[in-house]
Structure 1
Amino acid sequence: MDILESVKMASKTLLANKLRSTLTMLGIIIGNASVIAMVGIGEGAQRFVSGQFESLGTNVLFIVPGNRDAQRTTVDLPKTLVLEDAEAIATQVPTVGAVAPQLHSRELVTYRNRNTYSLIVGTNPDFSVVRSFDAQRGRFITDLDVKRNNQVVTLGVDLAERLFGNQDPVGQQVRIRNISFLVVGVMEEKGSVLGTNYDDSAYIPVTTMASRIIGENSPYGVNLTFISVSAQSEASVDAAQFQITNLLRLRHNITREDDFSVQSQKDVLEIAGTVTSALTLMLAAIAGISLLVGGIGVMNIMLVSVTERTQEIGLRKAIGATQDDILIQFLIEAVILSAAGGVLGTVLGVGGVLLIGVFTPFQAGVSPVAIALAVGVSGGIGIIFGVVPARRAAQLDPIVALRSA
């Protein structure tokens, strides 16, 4: 039998049962749309995380107190980093460009009758260099501010707007933990990075933070939340990581396990990439189950069709149709159902991905690989799950088929 004639006949048969054909395709449509949308979401999450880390600054290293095991299992990290460690890194590690010690605390910030709780970051002038974060108005903290424990503050743009509205904050006085601070600047817009909104934060000298806000100095110096370091170039990141580790091991008299960890931006990004890739694979696998269910639906409907069309099959075989002709006929019907469902599902999935990109921060994109895979799998499902009913139809005895009609 001519293949083109088989396709025409299969199309007419499917169009004659529009509702059943549509319901049969529904599983394939949902499966394809789910796979494309889930892969798009996963890839969007990967791009979002990459953008978050890139916005932290270039060639950045993070020195965090506690070893990796403590960071995974402990909420309250040990206080093993001090301000003197940051100063030693700045003066003794030649591959380092800038060092920004950071001491964090969430405190009440007040201007007249306006109150809000915000993150207070105690740091030094290198913070703006390491984190690529400059003042929009006024200035940032200076070395003199740190040396003299000056009570000055630079506000994030969101915090400044919430406290002052349209008024210029520079030169005004705010109170942090009921201590008066002079506003010397407002930072440019940075956005939220890894859950921390730097636009809603206030920046003061790290020495002032330790002596006036936190009020807790260890016998070894000013405790730090962590240290951010900028290497001189991308090529020197690994060397800086190695030199910082050796320096801190000497300073902390460590002979066995480190009480700190030095993580490069690349290391953290690779970990995040592994997590998001696994998430994408898991989402695609879950969505793929619906494709399997859709294939089973195609097989069930085709089996019902074989039962209903027993007389037709017997008549066609009686007038000369071979087993291969009948087999191809029913396989083509199954493939048409799956392919049509795949195309409609692709359109629905692409539309869903585009909507996700509009209404969420994820930079969701349409993956050509996911589309090709989903459509290919749906077409393959038509062949695989169409074989059983097609073989059953082809093996019917024409005499028995005509008698049972």
Structure 2
Amino acid sequence: MDLVESIKMSATTLVANKLRSSLTMLGIIIGNASVIAMVGIGQGAQKLASEQFESLGPNVLFVLPGSREARNTTFDLPKTLVWEDAKAIANQVPSIAGVSPEISNRFLISYRNKNSQSQVTGTTPEYLDVRSFKVDKGRFVNELDIKRNKQVVMLGSELAEKLFGKQNPLGEEVRINNISFQIVGIMGTKGSFMGQNQDDAAFLPLTTMANRLQGKTSPYGTEVSWISISAKNQASIDAAKFQIENLLRRRHKITGEDDFGVDTQKDILSIVNNVTGALTIMLAAIAAISLGVGGIGVMNIMLVSVTERTQEIGLRKALGAREKDILIQFLIEAVILSAAGGILGTLVGVSGVFFVGVVTPLKAGISPMAILVAVGVSGGIGLFFGVVPARRAAKLDPIVALRSA
């Protein structure tokens, strides 16, 4: 019997038992859809993280307080960075384009009967260029605000809408931690970064934030939460990092472990990609278990089919069919079931990834390699788990098969 005839017979047999064939394919469909969806969502998370880091600004470095061990083990970081460190970096590091010290905390912001618990950042005029922010209306912090500790505030676009609706907020006053601040600017839309909505935020002069809201807690100067720095260009990033580390070690008189860390966008993105990549592999591995379960289902149904079709097998062998012919037919049936389930599962998985991309911020990412691997594995599973039933059918003695019928 030629291969085409075997395929026709296998297809006819499967179509004749639609419900059983559909239930057999269900495990493969779920397995394929799960693998493709998990890989696609993981890749979407990596794309989203990359875009968010790029939105921080070009060639940005971050100086963070505390040793690397302290940053990994506690949320209450040591108070080791001060404004004077940022000034020293700006004056003595030649490979940088801008420096922006920041003090950040969450405070209650009120306007009449509306309240919002939002992020408040005290910073300097360089913040706009270093972090690639734009002002939509009004102005940003200027040097006069810094010198005079002026009680002015710039609102993020979402915070402004939350407190004022369609009303123009410029010139109005809001209360931050029960202190009045005049609104002088509205920031352009920036989006979220690492789960933090940058549009639901307020910006103050650094000195005002330190003296009126945060309070001074370091004997060495105005304590800052971190320092954002932009290198002159991509090629200057490594040099800037090296120079900043050497300068701060001298300023802090460090002889052992650093009490600060300098991270580039690439460093942080690499960490995030490693985490999301590991999660993607873990989720895909868990989803792949259902492929194995689906394969067991194929073998189970095929064994049942061999038992039910004992008379057919005996008759075919009595008419001259070889063991090879019987083996090939049952293997083809198993592969058709698995391949069809793989294709349907692929369609479901791809649709799921696009649906997630529509309803969430994740970017839909479909990996052609994941699709090829999933469909190939599902076909391989059919072949692997179909061997035992096919061999059992091929080994049936025609006389015994006909008698048992």
Q: TM-score, normalised by structure 2?
A: 0.98
In structure 2, distance between residues paired with 1:35 and 1:112? 51
Are 2:105 and 1:105 aligned? Answer: yes
Q: Map 1:65-214; keep pairs closer than 5 Å.
A: 65-214=65-214
Q: Is the 8 A contact 1:210 1:217 kept in 2?
A: no
In structure 2, distance between residues paired with 1:353 and 1:3? 37
Q: Which residue of 1 aligns with 2:267?
A: 267
Q: Map 1:2-401; keep pairs closer than 5 Å.
A: 2-401=2-401
In structure 2, distance between residues paired with 1:91 and 1:100? 13
In structure 2, distance between residues paired with 1:195 and 1:333? 49
290-299 or 164-173, which deviates more: 164-173
Aligned residue pairs total 405
- Structure 1 residue 170, shift from structure 2 partner: 1.8
For 1:75, the aligned partner's letter is F
1:113–1:318 distance in 2 versus 1, CA, 3 Å = closer
Deviations 1:356-396 (A, max 9, x none): 11111111222211111111111111111111111111111
In structure 1, distance between residues paired with 2:328 and 2:114? 77
325-334 or 304-313, which deviates more: 304-313
In structure 2, distance between residues paired with 1:389 and 1:215? 77
- Structure 1 residue 215, shift from structure 2 partner: 1.8
For 2:318, the aligned partner's letter is A
Using the aligned pairs only, state the percent identity. 67
List gaps (5 residues or longer) in structure 1: none
- Structure 1 residue 88, shift from structure 2 partner: 0.5
In structure 2, distance between residues paired with 1:20 and 1:114? 61
Give the match's secondary structure for 2:320: coil
1:183–1:29 distance in 2 versus 1, CA, 3 Å = same
Give the match's secondary structure for 1:78: coil
1:14–1:83 distance in 2 versus 1, CA, 3 Å = same
Q: Is the 8 A contact 1:90 1:99 kept in 2?
A: yes
- Structure 1 residue 290, shift from structure 2 partner: 0.6
For 1:375, the aligned partner's letter is V
- Structure 1 residue 166, shift from structure 2 partner: 2.2
Give the match's secondary structure for 1:364: coil
- Structure 1 residue 200, shift from structure 2 partner: 1.4
In structure 1, distance between residues paired with 2:120 and 2:38? 38
- Structure 1 residue 77, shift from structure 2 partner: 0.4
Give the match's secondary structure for 1:305: helix
For 2:102, the aligned partner's letter is Q
Give the match's secondary structure for 1:119: strand
In structure 1, distance between residues paired with 2:112 and 2:12? 78
Give the match's secondary structure for 1:153: strand
RMSD: 1.2
For 1:49, the aligned partner's letter is A
List gaps (5 residues or longer) in structure 2: none
